[in-house]
Amino acid sequence: MAEAVARHVVIVGASLAGTRTAQSLRALGHTGPVTLIGAEDELPYDRPPLSKRLLAEDWSESLVDEIRLAGKAELDELDITLRLGCAAVGLDSTARLVHLADGSAVAYDVLVIATGAAARPSPWRPASGVFQLRTLDDSRAIAERLTLGEPLVVVGGGFIGTEIAAAARARGCAVTVVDPLAEPMARLVGPEIAGALVDLHRRNGVTTRFGTGVVGIEGEAGDLTVALDDGEKLAASTVIVGIGSVPETDWLADSGLRLDNGVVTDARLRAVGHENVFAVGDVARWPHAGRGTEVRAEHWTNAGDQARYVASAVVRGAAEPYAPTDYVWSDQYDWKVNAFGWRALEGRSVLVGDLEADGRVAMLHSDADGGLCGAVTVNWVRALNQVRRLSASGASVDEAAEAVRRLP
SS3 203: helix
DSSP, res 290: T
Site for ligand FAD in 335-394 (CB under 6 A): none
Q: Is residue 228 at the binding interface for ligand FAD, with CB under 6 A as the rule?
A: no
Q: How far apart, in whole angstroms, are the C-alpha atoms of residue 317 and residue 362?
A: 39
Q: Can you name the residues that pair with 83 across neighbouring β-strands?
A: 37
Q: What is the largest CA-CA distance in the chain?
A: 68
Q: Which is nearer to ligand FAD, 299 or 343 (CB)?
A: 299
Pairing state of beta strands 293-295 and 284-288?
antiparallel
| Closest C-alpha to 160, from 180, 188, 137 | 188
Q: Which is nearer to ligand FAD, 179 or 248 (CB)?
A: 248
Q: How far apart, in whole angstroms, are the C-alpha atoms of residue 17 and residue 113?
A: 9
Q: Can you name the residues that pair with 38 across neighbouring β-strands?
A: 84
User: Shortest approach of ligand FAD to residue 3 CB, angstroms?
Assistant: 28
Q: Is residue 400 at the binding interface for ligand FAD, with CB under 6 A as the rule?
A: no
User: Shortest approach of ligand FAD to residue 354 CB, angstroms?
Assistant: 25
Q: How far apart, in whole angstroms, are the C-alpha atoms of residue 214 and residue 323?
A: 39
Please say whether the beta carbons of 396 and 372 come within 8 A. yes
Please say whether the beta carbons of 239 and 131 come within 8 A. yes
Q: Is residue 173 at the binding interface for ligand FAD, with CB under 6 A as the rule?
A: no
- Alpha helices by DSSP H, listed for 245-358, are 300-316, 355-358
| Closest C-alpha to 181, from 203, 204, 155, 160 | 155
Stretch that binds ligand FAD, among 12-20, 146-154, 258-266, 379-387 (CB under 6 A): 12-20
Site for ligand FAD in 265-294 (CB under 6 A): 281-282
Q: Is residue 197 at the binding interface for ligand FAD, with CB under 6 A as the rule?
A: no
Q: Which is nearer to ligand FAD, 80 or 114 (CB)?
A: 114
Q: Which is nearer to ligand FAD, 116 or 184 (CB)?
A: 116
Site for ligand FAD in 48-87 (CB under 6 A): 48, 50-51, 87
H or E element at residue 100:
strand 97-100
Q: How far apart, in whole angstroms, are the C-alpha atoms of residue 82 and residue 12?
A: 10
DSSP, res 271: B
Q: Is residue 328 at the binding interface for ligand FAD, with CB under 6 A as the rule?
A: yes
User: Shortest approach of ligand FAD to residue 251 CB, angstroms?
Assistant: 4
User: Shortest approach of ligand FAD to residue 343 CB, angstroms?
Assistant: 17
Q: Alpha-carbon torsion 62, 68, 74, 80, what sign? A: negative
User: Shortest approach of ligand FAD to residue 302 CB, angstroms?
Assistant: 7
User: Shortest approach of ligand FAD to residue 155 CB, angstroms?
Assistant: 15
When binding is defined by CB under 6 A, the residue of 108, 251, 309, 340 that contacts ligand FAD is: 251
When binding is defined by CB under 6 A, the residue of 134, 145, 270, 308 that contacts ligand FAD is: 134
Q: CA angle, 174 as apex, 243 and 242 as ends, to 5°?
A: 10
Q: Is residue 161 at the binding interface for ligand FAD, with CB under 6 A as the rule?
A: no
Q: How far apart, in whole angstroms, are the C-alpha atoms of residue 57 and residue 143?
A: 9
Stretch that binds ligand FAD, among 35-43, 142-150, 363-371, 372-380 (CB under 6 A): 35-43
- # chain residues binding ligand FAD, by CB under 6 A: 36
Q: Which is nearer to ligand FAD, 119 or 387 (CB)?
A: 119
When binding is defined by CB under 6 A, the residue of 179, 248, 305, 367 that contacts ligand FAD is: 248
Q: Which is nearer to ligand FAD, 105 or 368 (CB)?
A: 105
Q: What residue type is 31 in one-letter code?
A: T
Site for ligand FAD in 99-128 (CB under 6 A): 114-117
Q: How far apart, in whole angstroms, are the C-alpha atoms of residue 291 and residue 343?
A: 10
Contacts with ligand FAD by CB under 6 A lie at 12-18, 37-40, 47-48, 50-51, 87-88, 114-117, 133-134, 160, 248, 251, 281-282, 298-301, 303, 328-330
